[in-house]
């Protein structure tokens, strides 16, 4: 088999890149380790930056997000029960859209299937070969048969635990990591959300987030210690802890019910540099991880491939390598700003026992400054709704 671009991974990054390349008339094949149903079963992000929603429209898969997505003009920040709304529209003239990553993935999968562009699901033992040459190829095993795909370029969109970054020689990569001693216990429930907008809450007992997937399905999170086990958390224990951490008015309104999904996600900040090695380009979680506090993970994956897709279109359209040669530098400039914002939101909103009473006073001062400063609110709004691609 031969194609122009081999894409590893059918998550949001791989599927969006495939769509962009297809629209540019560039042949591509996606190789995905899991089944499509398994990919869709993963409950992850919930908030789209305006740029992400705009790109879905631009590539012709914006119909459902237009019909079912919930435009949000702001968020509520809560600190020990005190509330401060951040008005995105008033501060930066932009909004975000609440629309689950599962739905983004489904829309892109459906569009790809309808256009007949190939995705190989349940591809075992995917391996990258000759990535430091102009003639790379990929092998995998399916139904006991080993297959080979010759290509010009490989896009590693296979997430943090994928094979792509692991295929780059260690000497060629610089890794940057920040470990957080806690995770997020998340719950999905078929009940109306507690508030019209998201509530990000700091409390001495820990962080909590009130989010949603629709007007009838809600998503809630509480900070839990590293190593916590989801089986230690009955639904009732979760609801009691959430009520204790959010503002009293919201706690009073909270509608609880049986969880339809409950899981713990670890938090980390991570960046690999550079994002190119020969004919291999990294994008999305294969290249970086952010703590979900800033709602950046999915959106960064999309902005990476928006840049990579444009660079590949320039190469095949104009035979110019300029975009490919600058992809890593340009993408990393935006990635690090998102890493900074996600780290700042995490530092403000979570409890860090090791920083003691002084640390909590600094967090309170950070919140009080946010409440009193239009500049601070504008900065938060600018980052949360998404920085420009330039
Ligand atoms: P993905 O990990 O989504 O996709 C990679 C794909 O590659 C997967 O389908 C995988 O099966 C496949 N793959 C892996 N190894 C392979 C191999 N060897 N061969 C072939 N295929 C392979 N972000 C937010 O903004 N908000 C959130 O609330 C949030 N919650 C999260 C919760 C969890 C548990 C996790 C893990 C992440 C969360 N994220 C969140 C971040 C998440 O949304 C990612 O940023 C987003 O999925 C990144 O998309 P991709 O880069 O496409 O990677
Ligand atoms: C979610 O709805 O899953 C969600 C929303 C905002 C975040 C993180 C997760 O910052």
Structural domain contains residue 210: yes
- In ligand 2, which atom is closest to the CA atom of 211? 2
pLDDT of 353 above 90:
no
Which band of pLDDT confidence, cut at 50, 70 and 90, is reported for residue 63?
Answer: very high
With bands split at pLDDT 50, 70 and 90, how would you rate the model's confidence at 176?
very high
Mean pLDDT over each residue of the chain, to the nearest integer: 97
Range 142-146 average pLDDT: 95
Is residue 186 scored above 90 in pLDDT?
Answer: yes
Query: Which ranges in the chain belong to alpha helices (H)?
Result: 12-23, 36-41, 50-58, 63-68, 88-92, 101-115, 235-245, 248-253, 297-318, 322-349, 356-372, 374-384
CATH code of the domain covering residue 197: 3.30.9.10
Element (H, E) at 265: strand 259-273
Q: Looking at the domain assignment, is residue 214 inside a domain?
A: yes
Whether 261 and 344 share a structural domain: no
Is 365 within a domain?
Answer: yes
Ligand 2 pocket check for 338: Cβ under 6 Å? no
Question: Nearest ligand, CA of residue 345?
Answer: 2
SS (H, E, C) 105-117: HHHHHHHHHHHCC
Report, as an integer, the average pLDDT of 97-114. 97
Q: Is 44 in the pocket of ligand 1 (CB under 6 A)?
A: yes
Supply the range of the domain harboring residue 49: 5-72+96-176+268-348
Asked if the structure places residue 313 within a domain, the reply is: yes
Among protein residues, the one with the nearest Cα to ligand 2's atom 1 is: 46
- 137 labelled catalytic: no
pTM metric for this prediction: 0.96
286 and 143, same structural domain?
Answer: yes
Does 158 fall in a domain? yes
Locate 341 and state its tokens.
């914002």
Query: Is 72 annotated in the active site?
Result: yes
Based on the fold, state whether residues 284 and 165 are members of the same structural domain: yes
Ligand 1: which of 159, 211, 213 to mutate, most ligand atoms within 8 Å of CB?
Answer: 159
Residues 125 and 242 in one domain: no
Q: 29 pLDDT exceeds 90?
A: yes
The share of the chain scoring above pLDDT 70, in percent, equals 100
Pairwise CA distance, residues 173 & 273, whole Å:
6
| Atom nearest to 285 CA in ligand 1 | 51
The average pLDDT across 79-107 equals 97
| Whether residue 370 is found in the same domain as residue 307 | no
Q: 89: pLDDT confidence band, cut at 50, 70 and 90? A: very high
200 flagged as catalytic:
yes
How many domains is the chain built from? 2
Place of tokens 């928006």: 306
Average pLDDT over residues 82-87: 97
Q: What is the pLDDT of residues 240-276, one digit of tens each?
A: 999 999 999 999 999 999 999 999 999 999 999 999 9
Q: What is the pLDDT of residue 284?
A: 98
pLDDT for the residue numbered 376:
98
Structural domain contains residue 89: no
Residue 390 has pLDDT above 90, yes or no: no
Q: Identify whether residues 9 and 57 lie together within a single domain.
A: yes
Q: Are residues 197 and 276 in the same domain?
A: no
What average pLDDT does range 296-313 have in this prediction?
98
Identified catalytic residue from 12, 136, 180, 200: 200
In tens, the pLDDT along 38-55 reads 999 988 889 999 999 999
Residue 91 lies in a domain: no
Tokens standing for residue 2: 């031969």
CA-to-CA distance for 35 and 21, rounded, in angstroms?
22
Identify which of 44, 186, 289, 292 to mutate to test ligand 2's pocket (most ligand atoms within 8 A of the CB): 292
The question of whether 258 is a catalytic residue gets the answer: no
72, 203, 262, 288: which one is catalytic?
72
Of the listed ligands, the closest to the CA of 193 is 2
pLDDT tens, 190-235? Answer: 999 999 999 999 999 999 999 999 999 999 999 999 999 999 999 9
Q: Are residues 61 and 127 in the same domain?
A: yes
Predicted local distance difference test score (pLDDT) of residue 43: 85
Strand locations in 121-207 (E):
124-129, 137-142, 145-150, 153-156, 174-189, 199-202
Would the CB of 245 count as within 6 Å of ligand 2? no
Atom of ligand 2 nearest to the CA of 293: 10
Same domain, 155 and 304: yes
Instruction: Decide if 296 is catalytic.
Output: yes
| pLDDT (mean) for 109-136 | 97
> Are residues 274 and 263 located together in one domain of the fold?
no
Size of the chain in residues: 390
Mean pLDDT of 167-184: 97
CA distances from 52 to 8, 64, 79, 101, 385 (A): 21, 14, 29, 11, 10
Q: Are 156 and 229 within one domain?
A: no
- Pull the structure tokens for residue 164: 């792509």
pLDDT at position 278 over 80: yes
CA distance 66 to 377: 27
User: Which ligand has the nearest atom to the CA of 47?
Assistant: 2
54: domain CATH number is 3.50.50.60
- Distance between alpha carbon 189 and the CA centroid of its chain, in Å? 21
pLDDT for 103: 97
Do 261 and 273 belong together in one domain?
no
């Amino acid at each position: 088999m031969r194609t122009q671009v081999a894409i590893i991974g059918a998550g949001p990054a791989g599927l969006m890149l495939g769509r962009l390349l297809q629209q540019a008339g560039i042949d591509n094949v996606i190789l995905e380790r899991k089944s499509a149903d398994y990919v869709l079963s993963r409950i992850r992000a919930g908030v789209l930056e305006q740029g992400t929603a705009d790109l879905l429209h631009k590539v012709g898969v914006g119909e459902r997000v237009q019909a079912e997505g919930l435009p949000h003009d702001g968020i509520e920040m809560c600190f020990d029960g005190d509330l401060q709304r951040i008005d995105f529209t008033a501060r930066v003239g932009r909004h975000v859209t609440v629309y689950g990553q599962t739905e983004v993935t489904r829309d892109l999968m459906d569009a790809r299937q309808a256009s007949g562009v190939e995705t190989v699901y349940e591809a075992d033992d995917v391996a990258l070969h000759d990535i430091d040459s102009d003639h790379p190829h990929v092998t995998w095993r399916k139904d006991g048969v080993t297959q080979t795909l010759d290509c010009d370029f490989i896009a590693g969109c296979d997430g943090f635990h994928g094979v792509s970054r692991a295929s780059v020689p260690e000497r060629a990569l610089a890794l940057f990591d920040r470990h957080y001693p806690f995770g997020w216990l998340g719950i999905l429930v078929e009940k109306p959300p507690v508030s019209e907008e998201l509530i990000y809450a700091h409390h001495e007992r820990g962080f909590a987030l009130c989010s949603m997937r629709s007007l009838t399905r809600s998503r809630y999170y509480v900070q839990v210690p590293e190593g916590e086990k989801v089986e230690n958390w009955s639904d009732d224990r979760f609801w009691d802890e959430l009520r204790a951490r959010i503002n009293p008015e919201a706690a009073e309104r909270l509608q609880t019910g049986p969880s339809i999904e409950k899981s713990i996600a670890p938090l980390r900040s991570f960046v690999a540099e550079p994002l190119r090695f020969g004919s291999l380009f990294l994008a999305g979680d294969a290249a970086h991880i952010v703590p979900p506090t800033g709602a950046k993970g999915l959106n960064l994956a999309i902005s990476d491939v928006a840049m990579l897709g444009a660079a590949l279109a320039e190469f095949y359209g104009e035979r110019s390598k300029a975009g490919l040669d600058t992809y890593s530098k340009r993408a990393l400039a935006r990635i690090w700003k998102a890493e900074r914002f996600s780290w700042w939101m995490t530092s403000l909103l979570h409890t860090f026992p090791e920083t003691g009473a002084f640390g909590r006073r600094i967090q309170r001062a950070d919140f009080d400054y946010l409440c009193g400063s239009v500049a601070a609110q504008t900065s938060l709004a600018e980052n949360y709704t998404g920085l420009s691609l330039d």
